[in-house]
């Protein structure tokens, strides 16, 4: 069996938590609220609760598995170890393809906030710069993530203050969003789950965390608890301030909340915070996708060259550069702002495998009984297949193409 060079354990609880929380806040606060409000209307808070509940099941399962298998790759590794090669491949392929598209969407969102007329070139520059940071080592990644996270948290406090101070245009607005009704709760929960998926980055960094049996569970649960509290409070404030219809009608709800308040002069602060959030999420996404690609290459489910680890800072430089190259190609050739639903479906399938793998563990902690794994598995499938049909069909096609490719490669090897 080929031996691969190992990554180095340099991250503590605070660094790992920062990477997970930075990824979640960048994706969720600035991307998922508006389309979710368009589906659920006044019932958005129920969607946030459902997404958070499923995310908790997944977080507990991820924490159990990551403590037992502290290697790069997350559920790709867990699926292979507990369920077999094919479930592991489905999880890894869904994560790599869905999150690579998410990287492109996050980079373009950054470009739109910073320089709308030159959004694509700015997005490409951001991908190049952040890949450079990642190549300097995981500790540099964690440091930049902490800085960006501090900027984002300060921005969210300012948005909350603006939403409380008012005046509240949503009070006088016709509440068209209410018509979205109960039928939109589950699809909206599926979209909101996109916002909770960042703690997966902690598990994918399992090979670079100090004392993983202790650090990873604490970091995952701490990041999820913080993100859930922030999402729930912001959703409550935005619904009251803008109304469900007003929230659904804007692609930049946090910026709109400040502009329609007595603190409207602070709108540039929100733009800067949104840019920082996108950079933080993009940084964590590139890191997580690179580590999963590394793990898949070690098992020959992706080209073996992606398994190379080296350089002064001991990083998977080939996988990092390959991810960056694919993201840049997507930015230059496709409409990448339609991938939230695709990414949600892929990540929900990824976590369905996580829960199934955790169910097979011989021992479970008191806060993570086996029935919680069943609940998480069924919850993931329910949210995945109630997403908009285009998202479901698109990612099913991507998963099927990956599975067909793996099948052909295995036949050729035989």
Length of the chain: 414
Residue 412 belongs to some domain of the structure: no
Domain of 74 in residue numbering reads as: 13-407
Decide if 64 is inside a domain. Answer: yes
Q: Is the pLDDT of residue 401 over 90?
A: yes
Q: What is the pLDDT of residue 28?
A: 64
Instruction: Describe the crossing of helices 389-413 and 85-114 by its angle, rounded to 10 degrees.
Output: 130
Residue 50: strand, helix, or coil: helix
Please, which pLDDT band fits residue 322 given cuts at 50, 70 and 90? confident
Mean pLDDT of 101-124: 85
In Å, the largest CA–CA distance within the chain is 69
- Mean of the per-residue pLDDT values for the chain? 82
The verdict on residue 414 lying in a domain is no
Place of tokens 């589906």: 39
Q: Is the pLDDT of residue 178 over 50?
A: no
Whole-model pTM over 0.85: no
CA dihedral 115, 117, 120, 126 (to 10 degrees): -10
- Asked, for residue 7, whether it belongs to a domain, the answer is no
Percent of the chain with pLDDT over 70: 86
CATH code at 379?
A: 1.20.1740.10
Quote the pLDDT of residue 176.
Answer: 45
Number of domains in the chain: 1
According to the model, what pLDDT value does residue 105 have?
81
Q: Residue 205 pairs with which residues in a beta bridge?
A: 72
Question: Residue 96 falls within a domain, yes or no?
Answer: yes
Is 5 domain-assigned?
no
CA distance 363 to 370: 9
Confidence at 7, pLDDT banded by 50, 70, 90 = low
Residue 39 forms part of a structural domain: yes
Q: What's 32's DSSP letter?
A: I
Residue 335 in domain: yes
**What whole-number distance in Å separates Cα of residue 215 and Cα of residue 127?**
29
Lowest mean pLDDT, pick from 24-33, 45-54, 143-152, 348-357: 24-33
């Amino acid at each position: 069996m080929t031996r691969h060079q190992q990554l180095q354990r340099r991250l503590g609880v605070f660094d790992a938590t920062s990477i997970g929380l930075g990824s979640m806040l960048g994706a969720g606060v600035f991307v998922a609220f508006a389309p979710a409000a368009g589906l659920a209307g006044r019932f958005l808070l129920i969607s946030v609760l459902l997404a958070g509940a499923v995310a908790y099941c997944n977080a507990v399962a991820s924490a159990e598995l990551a403590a037992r298998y502290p290697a790069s790759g997350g559920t790709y590794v867990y699926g292979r170890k507990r369920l077999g090669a094919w479930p592991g491949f489905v999880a890894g392929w869904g994560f790599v393809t869905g999150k690579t598209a998410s990287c492109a969407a996050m980079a373009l969102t950054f470009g739109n906030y910073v320089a709308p007329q030159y959004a694509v070139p700015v997005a490409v520059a951001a991908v190049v710069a952040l890949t450079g940071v990642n190549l300097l080592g995981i500790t540099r990644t964690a440091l930049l993530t902490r800085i960006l996270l501090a900027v984002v948290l300060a921005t969210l406090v300012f948005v909350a203050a603006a939403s409380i101070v008012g005046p509240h245009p949503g009070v006088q607005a016709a509440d068209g969003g209410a018509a979205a009704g109960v039928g939109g709760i589950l699809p909206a929960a599926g979209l909101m789950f996109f916002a909770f998926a960042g703690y997966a980055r902690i598990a994918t960094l399992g090979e670079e965390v100090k004392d993983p049996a202790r650090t990873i569970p604490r970091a995952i649960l701490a990041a999820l608890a913080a993100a859930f509290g922030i999402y729930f409070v912001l959703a409550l404030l935005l619904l009251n301030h803008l109304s469900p219809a007003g929230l659904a009608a804007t692609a930049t709800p946090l910026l709109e909340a400040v502009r329609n308040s007595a603190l409207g002069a602070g709108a540039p602060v929100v733009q800067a915070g949104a840019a920082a959030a996108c950079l933080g999420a993009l940084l964590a996404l590139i890191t997580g996708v690179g580590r999963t690609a590394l793990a898949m290459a070690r098992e020959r489910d992706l080209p073996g060259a992606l398994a190379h680890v080296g350089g002064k800072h001991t990083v998977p430089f080939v996988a990092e550069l390959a991810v960056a190259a694919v993201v840049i190609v997507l930015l230059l050739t496709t409409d990448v702002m339609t991938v939230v639903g695709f990414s949600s479906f892929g990540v929900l399938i990824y976590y369905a495998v996580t829960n199934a793998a955790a169910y097979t563990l011989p021992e479970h902690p008191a806060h993570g009984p086996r029935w919680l794994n069943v609940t998480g598995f069924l919850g993931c499938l329910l949210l995945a297949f109630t997403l908009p049909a285009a998202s479901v069909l698109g990612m099913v096609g991507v998963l099927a193409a990956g599975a067909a490719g793996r099948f052909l490669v295995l036949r050729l090897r035989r």
